[in-house]
Amino acid sequence: MKKILPILLLLAAVSCKTIESPSENGGEETVTFSVSPSELSFENADKTTKYVSVKSSGNWTAQPSASWMHVNPTSGSGNGSFSVTVDDYSGSNPRTGSIAVSGNGKGTVSVSQGSASLALKTPSFDGVKRASTTYQLLIYSFADSDGDGVGDFKGIQEHLDYLDALGVTALWLSPAHPTNSYHAYDVNDYFSLNPLYGTETDFKNLIDAADAKGIKIYMDYVLNHSGKNNAWFKSVLSDPVNSDYKDYYVISTNYLADVSAGLVDNYGGGTDAGMGDWHDLAGGDAGYNGRLHFVLDSSTKRITVTKSDAAVDTPASTSDWYIYCGSFKGMKKTATNIYELTIDISTDWGFLVCSKNDWSSGSKYGASSSSGPIAFGTPYQLYTNADNDKVGNIVFGTAYKYFASFDQSMPDLNYGNYAECENSPAFKATVESAKKWVDMGVAGFRLDAVIWIYQAQLKANQRFLDQWYQAVNNYYKQKHSENIFMVGETWCDGGHNGEPNNPVKYPQRGGEKDYYKGLPSCFEFDYGYKLQSVLNDRNVGDFVSTISQYVSEHKAIRSDAITSFFLSNHDQMRFASSLGQSLEKEKQAAAILLTTPEKPYIYQGEELGYWGNQNNGDEYVRAPIVWDAAATKVAKNGVNNKVDNAMLKGSISVETQSADENSLLNVYKTWSRLRNTYPALASGEMSTTSISDAAIAAWYMTSGSQKLLVIHNVASAQREVSVSDSMDKPVALLGTASTKNGRLILGPNSSVVFEL
Ligand code: MG
């Protein structure tokens, strides 16, 4: 909606004439006349008394030009002063007048009262979307077309007008592949689509319909791991030795030895994977159910276990040695240094050997960190440790384990030695799958969890990402003139610069900026964190210079770098919650995001003011869109009905907010339209201004000859700053703003953009 505001009037300051006249009789006597100050300004209901001093060698008079000004006294003799007061004023533009002071010279004091509200001069939008604003969309909870309560491709297609009005030029869709979870980051087949979302025809129709509105489709691609029900992994599960897909996963019969030998690039190395764990490939077979005969040689600390049909022994009540698999079973001494026991056991984790029937220090014996599972009939070396917790369980069953950075439902894919990752079958297969979607019209990929592909090993990840990007982009460019878009989820501890204080654990670990050596775009997580602080602390700090510096650093690494800025995403507390659900702050966050350079992302629901945290599950930050005021069209099944019904009401719906000119949704639409109007905002360069105020974030955005001045007041009170640039053409306003005598007065949480 276009705001109709009174016309901007700037006070044309009239300077006072100060005259010092020479004497007319020979220069022995000086006639002096001056008036100070030359300008007075009053607020609308100003009760202050201001004073004008007169220096005069004779009589003088002071005469106001209008009756709303009151001068006292109106005359005097010699040096003196008079007071000036004004009547209350309710106009929205300033009124001006003057006081003529006459004596043996003449002077004028300009008087103004009130300030000028900004009259927006926003050019009409020509419909060309110039910005590269992306909407992060959760397929499962955006819009349901078929009544099953789960969002789908047709549902998105039915709401393309909404996304178009929001000014977005791309949709980053949550993973679209078959999955076992609602979130879909466990991909069961990279070459097909989740049937809950629709068919390949539905997907193709969505891509084409979106393209017709200038909206591209980016797929979320999960390269770090697959789902456990992926046919590749199921094949490995059934036959880890002979499966055609055994090289697709990080599997090992003795992972610590393999890691030490440098055979497992995909794993961080040492005894600490950083994130993730090794899991039994077959699952649950660490244990054993049945009758076993144990023979311990206490001199060599070796135990031999065999399956047994013999009668069960009654364990010794006290002994030098015990078998532990849930309770302590005393072994019987049958010869010097030999202890034996036949018992039925039922364990899902294995067993331990103890020298006492308690956990006192030194009692526990078990596997070392490099021991494999026990083999029946073969003596098995026992280890102890001063730290009992480091002794491992003695396990039965398969020797194979697989590595998973996240939970065990998502086994990590294996790309082998990073120096030749492009030759690994998993690399080739994932690239091949991406080509299928490129052929269908997909124009970009958001790559999930990229720092974990090689377990935070920066150099390996950089090379992998570069190779994967090149492989897909080379294919894309066979049919397109521009490069494909690809953005990485580079969520690093330490953010942009990484974590300098943790050099031991991850000697090669980098920050977000380092990943531009692999991909043209990375998510700048620092942005949202910093903006939260700016808005909550009401202090801009180094926000402007830091954002500007980040963009410069990325472009210095690669000329095609595009920084991806966002408020929050599906893995974080909702930005509205971080702002204490302050609608004024949420509106200003939108205005700041949409005047920030490079590539902004709007996360589904953010434009409606969705709040939520992950205390009861990630679903609560992934809530479905409420489309109608009756709140009947809500894809709640897409998040297993884990929703905050107090939030998902008609009052927060698209229908309700669309009809409210002052809604958050309309702030997003207005500022997004502004971004699409001006190339300076859409793709311009950010630079700093001389405006200096702890609560004012101001910067220029420039493209060619076009230059805009962006100013945000994050304070809870009105703020007044001197602006040296022209304020003649304000083109966007959030909150309130007025000008007076070359100064800008911005209301609390108010933002303004001037075209210069
Ligand atoms: Mg559906």
- Averaged pLDDT, 148-171: 98
Write out the two tokens for 587.
Answer: 């509106």
**Which two tokens mark 391?**
């002794």
Q: Is residue 119 part of a domain?
A: no
Q: Which residues contact 68 (CB under 8 A, 6 or more apart)?
A: 86, 87, 89, 95, 97, 113
Residue 188: both structure tokens together:
């069961």
Q: What is the pLDDT of residue 7?
A: 32
Q: What is the mean pLDDT of residues 11-18?
A: 31
Mean per-residue pLDDT for 689-696?
95
CB–CB of 232/410 below 8 Å?
no
Q: What is the 3-state secondary structure (H, E, C) of 245-284?
A: CHHHECEECCHHHHHHCCCCCCCCCCCCCCCCEEEECCCC
What's the rounded Cα separation, in Å, for the pair 146 and 156? Answer: 12
Greater pLDDT, 115 or 602 = 602
**Per-residue pLDDT tens over the stretch 409-468:** 999 999 998 999 999 999 999 999 999 999 999 999 999 999 899 887 888 899 999 999
Residue 512 domain-assigned? yes
**pLDDT for 340-354, tens place per residue?**
999 999 887 889 999
Q: pLDDT class for 389, splitting at 50, 70, 90?
A: low
Look at residue 468 in the predicted model and tell me its pLDDT.
Answer: 98
Dist. CA 343 → ligand 1 center (Å) = 55
d(CA 218, CA 564): 14
The neighbourhood of ligand 1, an ion, using CB within 5 A, equals 144, 146, 148, 150, 152
User: Percent of the chain, pLDDT > 70?
Assistant: 92
For residue 139, the CA-to-ligand 1 centroid distance in Å is 9
- Closest by CA to 397, choosing from 348, 445, 336, is 348
In a domain, 322, yes or no: yes
Which CATH number does the domain housing residue 109 bear?
2.60.40.10
- Residues 635 and 155: their CA atoms lie apart, in Å, by 10
What pLDDT is recorded for position 16?
Answer: 33
The pTM of this model reads 0.77
Same domain membership, residue 456 and residue 599: yes
- Report how far apart, in Å, the C-alpha atoms of 234 and of each of 1, 179, 183 are: 56, 14, 21
DSSP symbol at 331: P
CA dist 122 and 709 (Å) reads 14
Q: Is there a single domain that holds both residue 555 and residue 449?
A: yes
Residue 95 has which token pair?
């009124």
From ligand 1's centre to the CA of 619, what distance in Å? 17
Examine the domain organization and report whether 519 and 656 are in the same domain: yes
Span of 23-27, 46-50, 534-538 with lowest mean pLDDT? 23-27
Whether residue 158 has pLDDT greater than 90: yes
Q: Is the pLDDT of residue 593 over 50?
A: yes
Determine the Cα–Cα distance for residues 432 and 471; give it in Å rounded to an integer. Answer: 9
Question: Distance from the CA of 142 to the center of ligand 1, in angstroms?
Answer: 10
| Calpha distance 718→115 (Å, rounded) | 13
pLDDT at 282: 65
Which residues, listed in sequence order, are joined to residue 76 by a DSSP beta bridge?
60
Quote the tokens at residue 141: 């909870």
3-class SS letters over 174-209: CCCCCECCCCCCCECCCCCCCCCCCCHHHHHHHHHH
Tokens of 140: 């499962």
Within-domain flag for 122: no
In terms of domains, do 454 and 342 share one? no
Smallest Cα–Cα separation from 7: which of 114, 96, 119?
A: 119
In this structure, the answer to whether residues 609 and 699 fall within a common structural domain is: no
Residue with tokens 């030759």: 423
Sequence-distant (6+) residues with CB within 8 A of 750 are 588, 712, 713, 733, 734, 735, 736, 737
**What's the CATH code of the domain at 164?**
3.20.20.80
**DSSP states of 560-588:** T-EEEEES--TTS--HHHHTTT-HHHHHH
How far is Cα 254 from Cα 232, in angstroms, rounded to an integer? 22
Across the range 611-618, mean pLDDT stands at 96
Beta carbons of 447 and 223 less than 8 angstroms apart: yes
> pLDDT (tens digit, 9 = 90+) per residue, 247-269?
999 998 777 777 777 777 776 54
Q: Is residue 270 part of a domain?
A: no
User: Residue 258 has what pLDDT?
Assistant: 79
Measured at the CA of 491, the angle between CA 488 and CA 494, to 5 degrees, comes to 135
Give pLDDT tens digits for 64-109: 999 999 999 999 999 999 999 999 887 767 788 999 999 999 999 9
φ, ψ of residue 583 to 5 degrees: the values are -65, -35
Write down the pLDDT at residue 27: 44
Predicted pLDDT at 409: 92
Distance from the CA of 726 to the center of ligand 1, in angstroms?
53
Residue 295 belongs to some domain of the structure: yes
Length in residues, the chain: 756
The confidence band for 390, taking pLDDT boundaries of 50, 70 and 90, is low
Q: What is the pLDDT of residue 274?
A: 65
* Average pLDDT over every residue of 591-607: 98
Confidence of residue 564 (pLDDT cuts 50, 70, 90): very high
- Which range, of 134-138, 150-154, 496-500, averages the lowest pLDDT? 496-500
Residue 507: predicted pLDDT = 59
Q: Quick check: 679 and 706 in contact, CB under 8 A?
A: yes
Stretch among 132-141, 392-401, 661-670 having the lowest mean pLDDT? 392-401
Domain count along the chain: 4
pLDDT of res. 168: 98
Digit-coded pLDDT (tens) for 302-334 = 999 999 999 999 999 999 999 999 999 999 999
One domain, residues 670 and 582: yes
Q: Is residue 415 part of a domain?
A: no
What b/e sequence results for 604-639 when a residue is b if at least 16 CB atoms lie within 10 Å of its CB, and e otherwise? bbbbbbbbbeeeeebbbbbbbbbbebebebbbbbbb
Task: Indicate if the pLDDT at residue 8 is higher than 60.
Answer: no
Which pLDDT score is estimated for 216? 98
* Percentage of residues in the chain having pLDDT higher than 90: 73
| Helix residue ranges per DSSP H, 97-229 | 139-142, 153-158, 160-165, 200-212
Which residues are known catalytic residues?
Answer: 448, 489
- Transcribe 36-53 into DSSP letters: E-SEEEE-TT----EEEE
Q: What is the pLDDT of residue 386?
A: 58
Structure tokens that stand for 521 in this block: 């775009």
Is 654 found in the same domain as 530? yes
Residue 285 — very low, low, confident or very high, per pLDDT cuts 50/70/90? low
What residue type is assigned to position 499 of the chain?
E
CA 178 – ligand 1 centroid, Å: 14
Q: DSSP of 356-415, one letter per residue?
A: SSS--TT-EEBB-TT-----TTS-EE-B--SSGGGSBPB--S---EEEESS-TTSPBB--
Alpha-carbon span 731 to 591, nearest angstrom: 13
Q: How far is the CA of 541 from the CAs of 106, 554, 593, 685, 749, in angstroms?
A: 48, 22, 17, 20, 16
For residue 3, is it within any domain?
no
What is residue 751's three-state secondary structure? strand
Residues 519, 666 share a domain: yes
Quote the pLDDT of residue 165.
97
pLDDT tens-digit readout, 465-486: 999 999 999 999 999 999 999 9
Å from CA of 572 to ligand 1 middle: 25
User: 98 and 172: one domain?
Assistant: no
Confidence of residue 24 (pLDDT cuts 50, 70, 90): very low
Say if residue 470 is in the same domain as residue 583: yes
- Cα–Cα distance measured from residue 660 to residue 658, given in angstroms and rounded to the nearest whole number: 6
Using an 8 Å Cβ cutoff, are 410 and 197 in contact?
Answer: no
Which of 614, 643, 677 corresponds to the end of one domain? 677
More confident residue, 13 or 509: 509
CA of 163 to the centre of ligand 1 (A): 19
> Using an 8 Å Cβ cutoff, are 568 and 611 in contact?
no
Domain identity same for 206 and 349: no
Q: In sequence order, which residues have a C-beta less than 8 Å from that of residue 28 and are 6 or more positions away?
A: none
Identify the domain containing residue 315 by its residue range.
284-399
258 C-beta neighbours (distance < 10 Å), count: 15
The Å distance, Cα 645 to ligand 1 centre, comes to 20
Read off the CATH number of the domain in which 724 is found. 2.60.40.1180
Distance from the CA of 637 to the center of ligand 1, in angstroms? 9
**Separation of CA 605 and ligand 1 centre (Å):** 19
Residues 216 and 339 reside in one and the same domain: no
148 C-beta neighbours (distance < 10 Å), count: 12
Q: Which of 677, 712, 743 is the last residue of a domain?
A: 677
State the chain's mean pLDDT as an integer. Answer: 90
- Which uninterrupted H or E stretch holds 116? strand 116-117
